[in-house]
């Protein structure tokens, strides 16, 4: 039986690349995002490339919090079950503090933190009833330190990381695995406004690494592992004058 995974934010970036990677590995996919037309195009392309693939699509805006449980249930029904949630939907607006763009900061927190929490909460309810499951949450290396133009994004990702670690303790011995991923700079529209993107990798390369981490059910990892595994702890000690140059 193929593994069944639901990917949020599947219309672009990491989510889209992971859909192609996992379809090639024989997974059954439920793809969600706000842009239904794009999801349908991805579904049709995946099924052309992999004729035996099971791909269902469903519109989802994670900030429509009350709608999330119904979408999770509909996707699980469409796949005939659900094994893995890949909580990936997010935005990056690159706003500066004190520049009249607090609405963008609020949208970022509502999407990347509260929307992610709503998605995980609904999936955990399903997994608890089922008796098994795997939550994979996308945080970020920006959760390790505060970067210019990334204040609300980093705050949301740091909060989501802590939320997932708390969840891991809650579901201990309940056959639900929790993976926290901290991608570095992957070439997506979320970070292309930044003037510095060290160790940049393509979405496809990132997706290959992430697929392996999902299959190994790692507890936590940066993406890629090197050099971020070494740099992650170091970043917390960088002086402000260095961080200001990013």
**Among all residues, which ones are annotated catalytic?**
153
Q: Which residues contact 133 (CB under 8 A, 6 or more apart)?
A: 82, 83, 84, 85, 123, 124, 126, 127, 175, 176, 177
Question: Is 231 within 8 Å of 217 (Cβ atoms)?
Answer: no
Question: Is 90 within 8 Å of 109 (Cβ atoms)?
Answer: no
CA distance linking residue 91 with residue 156, whole number of Å: 10
CA distance linking residue 144 with residue 158, whole number of Å: 7
CA distance linking residue 140 with residue 221, whole number of Å: 10
């Amino acid at each position: 039986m193929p593994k069944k995974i639901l990917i949020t934010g599947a219309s672009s970036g990491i989510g889209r690349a992971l859909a192609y990677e996992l379809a090639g590995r024989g997974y059954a996919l439920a793809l969600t995002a706000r842009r239904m037309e794009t999801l349908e195009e991805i579904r049709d392309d995946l099924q052309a490339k992999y004729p035996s693939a099971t791909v269902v699509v469903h519109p989802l805006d994670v900030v429509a919090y009350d709608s999330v449980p119904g979408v999770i249930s509909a996707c699980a029904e469409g796949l005939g079950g659900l094994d893995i949630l890949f909580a990936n939907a997010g935005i990056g607006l690159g706003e500066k503090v004190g520049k009249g763009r607090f609405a963008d900061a609020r949208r970022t927190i509502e999407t990347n933190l509260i929307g992610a929490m709503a998605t995980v909460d609904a999936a955990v309810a399903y997994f608890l009833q089922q008796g098994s499951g795997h939550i994979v949450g996308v945080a970020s290396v920006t959760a390790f330190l505060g970067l210019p133009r990334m204040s609300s994004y980093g705050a949301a990702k740091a909060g989501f990381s802590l939320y997932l670690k708390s969840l891991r303790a809650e579901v201990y011995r309940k056959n639900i695995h929790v993976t926290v991923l901290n991608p570095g700079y992957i070439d997506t529209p979320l970070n292309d406004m930044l003037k510095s993107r060290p160790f940049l990798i393509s979405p496809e390369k990132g997706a290959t690494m992430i697929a392996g981490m999902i299959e190994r059910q790692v507890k936590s990892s940066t993406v890629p592992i090197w050099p971020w595994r070494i740099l992650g702890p170091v970043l917390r000690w960088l002086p402000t004058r260095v961080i200001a140059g990013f």
